[in-house]
Amino acid sequence: MSLDAADVEKIAHLARLGIDAGDIPDYCRNLSDILAFVEQLNAVDTAGVEPLAHPLEATQRLRPDRVTETDERDHFQQVAPQTEAGLYLVPKVIE
């Protein structure tokens, strides 16, 4: 599977990942090489095989819905770039 510049741009947008226009040919090449490499998987007959998402096939552990943690928002927001009144600030979204 070969990717072209438009493909790479589209995927980068999905990932909200800024890439320089000058790097796009390298990304096309590297990503196409990787995809060509993983093509081998298609030769394998996996009809009827259940996907394995967790090595030990565990399921999500549940606990009683009771408050057990303390509010540490102020402490955790100390590492934030910009906050106000407990909220995280970003450039204006709605015009």
First and final C-alpha spacing in the chain: 41
Q: Which two tokens stand for residue 79?
A: 């590492």
Q: Is 91 in the site for other proteins (CB under 8 A)?
A: yes
Q: Are 31 and 3 in contact (CB under 8 A)?
A: yes
The least distance separating other proteins from the CB of residue 71, rounded to whole angstroms, comes to: 13
**CA–CA distance, 26 with 32 (Å, rounded to integer):** 10
Q: Is 31 in the site for other proteins (CB under 8 A)?
A: yes
| Chain contacts with other proteins (rule: CB under 8 A) | 3, 8, 11-12, 14-20, 23, 27, 30-31, 33-35, 37-42, 44, 46, 49-56, 58, 60-61, 63, 72, 75-82, 88, 90-93
